Amino acid sequence: MGVIINRIKLVGSKGTKKIDGLFDSGASFSFINYELAKKLDIILDLSEPIEFETAEEGRKITVSKRILLDFYIEGIRLSDEVIIGAATMQKWRLKLNFDQDRVIVDQRVTRPMLK
């Protein structure tokens, strides 16, 4: 597991901000500072909160909000809003069964973590 810091541009319905983004190969979800999120777009409630393990042994956090932002790296817009790409499928070990038109989820990797 590793961490890389890279300059990114975040774009929401309320504004744009360039920041140093932390790319963490051990995190199963993306996170943003709440105050920054409020400045960029509308914050929505999750249908149900998600509890995450953190890198600190025994520490957990509960997330109850979400936001949808586009982000740009080197001028390229990145998003997983509608189309699920190979990287996401590999990360979550999703398998496609074309004979049955099914997506198969490996339950061993569905536990949210921030390690």
Q: Which domain holds residue 89?
A: 82-109
Neighbours of 32 (CB within 10 A): 20
Tell me whether residue 115 is in a domain: no
| 8 and 63 part of one domain | yes
Rounded Cα distance between 21 and 44, Å, is 22
Do 67 and 104 lie in one domain? The reply is no
For 90, the enclosing helix (H) or strand (E) is helix 86-91
The model's pTM is 0.67
Would 74 be classed as within a structural domain? yes
Provide the mean pLDDT of the chain.
79
Residue 28 in domain = yes
Indicate the burial class of 87 (C-beta count within 10 angstroms; 0-12, 13-18, 19 or more). exposed
C-alpha to C-alpha distances, 21 to 24, 60, 78, nearest whole angstrom? 9, 22, 13
Total tally of structural domains belonging to the chain: 2
Band of residue 81 on the pLDDT scale cut at 50, 70, 90: very low
Mark whether 23 and 42 lie in a shared domain: yes
Tell me if 9 is assigned to some domain.
yes
Asked if 65 and 88 sit in the same domain, the reply is: no
Specify whether 67 is located in the same domain as 100.
no
- Look at residues 51, 19, 61, 24 and name the one whose alpha carbon lies nearest to residue 36: 19
**What's the pLDDT tens digit per position in 3-16?**
777 788 889 999 99
pLDDT in tens, 22-75: 777 677 777 888 999 999 999 999 999 989 888 888 899 899 998 888 878 778
User: Is 114 among the domain residues?
Assistant: no
For residue 5, what are the contacts with CB-CB under 8 A and spacing of at least 6?
A: 20, 21, 22, 23
Both 59 and 12 in one domain: the answer is: yes
* 8 token code pair: 């990114």
